[in-house]
Amino acid sequence: MSSFFSDQAKDRIVEAVRDVESKSSAEIVVTVRGRSDDYREVDLVAGLVVAAITLGLLIYHPAELDEDLMPLETVAAFAIVTLIVSRVGAIKRALLPRKKRDARTLMAARAQFVEQGVSCTRDRSGILVFVSELERAVRVVPDVGIDTAKLGDGWKASVERLEDAVGALDPTAFAAALASLGPVLEAKYPRREDDVNELPDAPDIAPTSAAKAPARTLAPETEPAVADGTAAKAPAVETEASS
């Protein structure tokens, strides 16, 4: 199993983004985060459950135990389990309720859409591809200028490939899936003669949670093209994947 945090993965993503943008007027922004949230409540609940079990075993153990040590042993059980769950992603992922995981990745994707300036394009043709490694989730968030209903089965197939790649933590397959969006978008949103690169091609990658990672500074050409003060419409989140 590979990782999206390697230089090789970053280079492949850049190539895929440039390939898509050479065929279509869409602007692709890829954001990768180690997790969408710290999920501290999961750590604490796991620690409390094990602490309660430990205390019960100590109280009802058939052997005669030192009662003075029971509080210390219970606290130790809580601390150890809380620390383990907070550090081991596989355990935390297994304990995460799907509803909570979906809600946090959705919230993180929406926040990244705004922070990365995806709506700051002339034709509102930005598409955010948000990857969250801990949850094995990908969210594809198109701006209002991209109508995915017009893209048909080709769009759905490419998104499914992205889901499979993120579920397997395979950056090579992810880059290939990302590049497959090129012909799909080209059919309805072909590249225009006056197209310019409005958003960064390089993925914004941070191993921290989405809430802690600093926002990337946008280049001058990524400032909003609309200057009439009209509020941007909220994008619809297209999809997510979790293994």
| Section 23-33 average pLDDT | 96
Q: How many other C-beta atoms are found inside a 10 Å radius of the C-beta of residue 99?
A: 8
Query: Which tens digit of pLDDT belongs to each residue from 178-229?
Result: 999 999 999 999 999 999 999 999 999 998 776 666 656 554 444 433 333 3
Query: Which tens digit of pLDDT belongs to each residue from 45-70?
Result: 999 999 999 999 999 988 888 888 99
Identify the pLDDT of residue 163: 94
Question: Is residue 29 classed as helix, strand or coil in its secondary structure?
Answer: strand
- Cα–Cα distance, 34 to 42 (Å, whole number): 17
* Cα dihedral: 74, 82, 102, 153 (round 10): -130
* 128 DSSP β-pair partners: 29, 141
Q: What is the largest CA-CA distance in the chain?
A: 84
**Average per-residue pLDDT for the chain:** 88
- Residue 145 or 232, more confident: 145
Identify the pLDDT of residue 220: 42
26 band by pLDDT with thresholds 50, 70 and 90: very high
Please give the C-alpha separations between residue 5 and each of 8, 135, 213, in angstroms, as whole numbers. 8, 15, 14
Q: Are 108 and 37 in contact (CB under 8 A)?
A: yes
Query: Which tens digit of pLDDT belongs to each residue from 92-112?
Result: 999 999 999 999 999 999 999
Which domains, ranges and CATH numbers included, belong to the chain? 7-37+97-222 (3.10.310.50), 40-95 (no CATH)
Query: pTM for this one?
Result: 0.82
∠102-171-31 over CA atoms, to 5°?
50
Identify the pLDDT of residue 128: 98
